[in-house]
Each structure stands twice: as C-alpha cells, then as structure tokens.
C-alpha cells in the first residue's frame, strides 16, 4: 500500500472520530431549564416572579388558541388558494380540450376538403375542371352500387368492397379503369345476374312443385276426411235404423204383452157354465151368471188336430182342447177356471 493511501485512510478515521465526539458532546448537554436558559415556563412567566399562576396559564392558553386559529385560518387560506389553483387548472384543461377539438375539427374539415377535391378529380372524366350532369349521374350510379345495405351512407366495409372490386376490374394494374375493363366487368356482371336469375327461376319452380305437392296432399286429406265423414254418416244411419228397429220390436213386444194381459183378463173374467165347442171358430151358449153369451174358438189344425173351445159368460173361464177338431164340453164358460190340456 502506498503512503498516499495510508494518509487517506488515516484522515478518514480522524474525521469519523471527531464527528462522533461532537455528537456525544451535544447529546450529553442538559436542557434549557438545567442550563438556566429558560423554557416554555419562563416564556409563560410574564411578571418574572419565578412562578406561573392561573392568569398566566389562562393567557398562555389564549395565546395557544389564537396561534391555532391563525394556523387554521392560514390552512383555510391555503385550501382556498389550492381550490382556486385547481379551478384555474380545470379551466386551462377545458380550454386545451376546446383547442384540441377545434384543431381536430380543422383537421377533419381539411380532410373532407381533400377528399372532396379527390372525388371531384375522379368524377371529372374529361378533366375540364367541372362535373357536368352526365358525370354526376354516373357518380350517383356508382354510389348506389357501393351502398350495399341501401342506408344512404357508405361505410368502411362498403368502401373496402368497392376498392376490392376496383382492383379486380383493373386487369393491367395501371390504377385506371378504361373502357375495355369496364365493358368486361359489365359482361361479367351481366353473366352473374343471368346465373342469379336462373337460380331464382329454379327455386321458384321448386317452390311451385312443392306447393302443388302440398295441394295434392291437402286434396287427398280432404278426400279421406270426406270418406270418413260418409262412413260416419253411414254408421249413424245404421245406428238410427237399429234404434228404429229396436223401438218397433219394443212396441211389438208391448203390444203382445198388452194382448196377453187382455187375454188373461178376459180368461179371468169369463163365465162359469159348461159350454160346447166346435171344430174351428165356434160360439157357444151355456148357463152362467146372468145367462151371458159364451163364445169359443178352436184351432184343430194348428194344434195337431186338437180343438180348443172358448166361451164367455161364466165367472171363471177356461180352455179345453178336444181331439180331432171337436169342441170340448167346457170351452170358455166352464165351471172351473184355468186351462186344460
């Protein structure tokens, strides 16, 4: 190590030692009261009597309150100044925003003017400096073709599509659409429209075929419905006929029952005297109550040759079947009631 380095280190060490000694000396010194230099109490002792009484304490409190009030007022003033500064900065920011918006509006106006000039240059086909009626109509047709959604505004998408179409039309990539390229684009567009028309015709034809098929299906369903209705009506007619037949049978049964009941009543109310019968239809007379008229009927052929004699006039009635069509002695009007075989 060289002598210069050694001297430098020694100097640094001495400086550190001296700074530590000064710090220790200041740290070991007593306070203002011990040094007889006074302190807050000495400042409060206004009459210098060595004691702080209540008046001096109250005055010290008032002084402290006034100092705090001054500090509060100073802080309020600082706050107001800060608010004023903030409002001034806000106004400056607003002015800057207004200036920025004006600058943007100026830039957009210049852009519109540039675009208008460019558009005028593009529309002016004969380069005469003016856009005549023919050029204006052509521009309107181009604008209508560019406006795909027919909203009256050409957005970025439509403008991009127009640029792509223009790029496809420019076959020689010279940046200009000449008559040959325009005629070729028109032929391609006509061919595309013809294909679209053919597709629409095919779709219309398919729709017509589908409609006719649906009409046939509807007619078939109508025929089936009518057949079903006719079948239902036939069944209804058949049911009504069955009901009529049942009512007729019920009516015949009621008539037969009524006839049987009347016959039984006649049999029960016939005469009591002995009667006589004939083969076939026969009337007989015999003794009975009030000498009534007795009638009898016989059926020989139907009852296998046996005759049935019937008579009326007695208190009790009966029937007697005689062999070989001969009337029996009782018939209706016999002494006993009932039916004999």
Over residues 255-300, the pLDDT tens digits come to 999 999 999 988 887 754 444 444 434 444 444 344 333 444 444 4
Mean of the pLDDT values across residues 70-77? 86
Mean of the pLDDT values across residues 149-154? 78
Torsion sign, CA atoms 48, 51, 54, 59: positive
Residues 6+ positions from 158 with CB-CB distance below 8 Å: 146, 147, 148, 149
- Binned at pLDDT 50, 70 and 90, residue 51 comes out as confident
Q: Which of 329, 327, 308 is nearest to 319 (CA)?
A: 308
DSSP one-letter code for 327 = P
**122/141 Cα distance (integer angstroms):** 14
Q: How far is CA 40 from the centre of its chain?
A: 85
Categorise residue 131: left if φ over 0, alpha if ψ from -120 to 50, beta otherwise: beta
Is 113 or 45 the better-scoring residue by pLDDT? 113
Computed over every residue of the chain, the mean pLDDT equals 74
Is 141 or 217 the better-scoring residue by pLDDT? 217
Q: What is the model's pLDDT at position 1?
A: 60
Mean of the pLDDT values across residues 117-131? 76
Residues 6+ positions from 252 with CB-CB distance below 8 Å: none
Measured distance between the N- and C-terminal CA atoms of the chain, rounded to whole angstroms: 176
- Binned at pLDDT 50, 70 and 90, residue 301 comes out as very low
Torsion sign, CA atoms 76, 78, 80, 83: negative
For residues 143-162, b (16+ Cβ closer than 10 Å) or e, as one string? eeeeeeeeeeeeeeebeeeb
**295/176 Cα distance (integer angstroms):** 137
pLDDT at 174 over 80: no
Is 174 or 312 the better-scoring residue by pLDDT? 174
- Binned at pLDDT 50, 70 and 90, residue 339 comes out as very low
Return the top range by mean pLDDT from 30-34, 76-80, 285-289.
76-80
Is 314 or 248 the better-scoring residue by pLDDT? 248
**331/277 Cα distance (integer angstroms):** 6
Q: Which of 269, 262, 276 is nearest to 320 (CA)?
A: 276
**68/187 Cα distance (integer angstroms):** 94
Mean of the pLDDT values across residues 239-253? 94
């Amino acid at each position: 190590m060289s002598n210069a380095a050694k001297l430098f280190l020694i100097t640094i060490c001495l400086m550190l030692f001296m700074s530590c000694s000064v710090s220790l000396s200041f740290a070991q010194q007593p306070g203002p009261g011990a040094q007889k230099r006074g302190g807050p109490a000495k400042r409060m002792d206004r009459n210098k009597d060595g004691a702080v009484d209540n008046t001096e304490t109250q005055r010290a409190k008032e002084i402290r309150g006034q100092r705090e009030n001054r500090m509060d007022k100073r802080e309020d003033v600082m706050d107001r100044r800060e608010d004023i500064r903030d409002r001034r900065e806000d106004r400056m920011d607003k002015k800057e925003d207004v200036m920025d918006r004006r600058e943007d509006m100026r830039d957009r106006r210049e852009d519109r003017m540039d675009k208008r000039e460019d558009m005028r240059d593009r529309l002016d086909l004969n380069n005469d400096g003016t856009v005549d009626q023919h050029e204006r109509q052509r521009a309107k047709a181009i604008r209508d073709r560019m406006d795909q959604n027919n909203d009256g505004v050409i957005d970025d998408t439509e403008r991009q599509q127009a640029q792509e179409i223009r790029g496809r039309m420019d076959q020689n990539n010279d940046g200009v659409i000449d008559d040959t390229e325009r005629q070729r684009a028109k032929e391609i567009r006509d061919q595309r429209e013809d294909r679209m028309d053919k597709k629409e015709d095919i779709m219309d034809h398919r729709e017509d075929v589908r409609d006719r098929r649906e009409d046939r299906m509807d007619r078939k369903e109508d025929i089936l419905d009518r057949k079903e209705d006719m079948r239902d009506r036939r069944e209804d007619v058949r049911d009504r006929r069955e009901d009529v037949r049942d009512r007729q049978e019920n009516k015949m049964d009621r008539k037969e029952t009524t006839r049987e009941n009347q016959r039984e009543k006649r049999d029960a109310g016939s005469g009591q005297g002995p009667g006589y019968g004939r083969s076939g239809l026969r009337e007989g007379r015999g003794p009975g109550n009030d000498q009534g008229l007795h009638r009898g009927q016989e059926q020989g052929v139907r009852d296998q040759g046996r005759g049935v004699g019937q008579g009326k006039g007695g208190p009790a009635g009966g029937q007697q079947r005689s062999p070989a069509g001969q009337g029996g002695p009782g018939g209706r009007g016999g002494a006993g009631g009932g039916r004999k075989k």
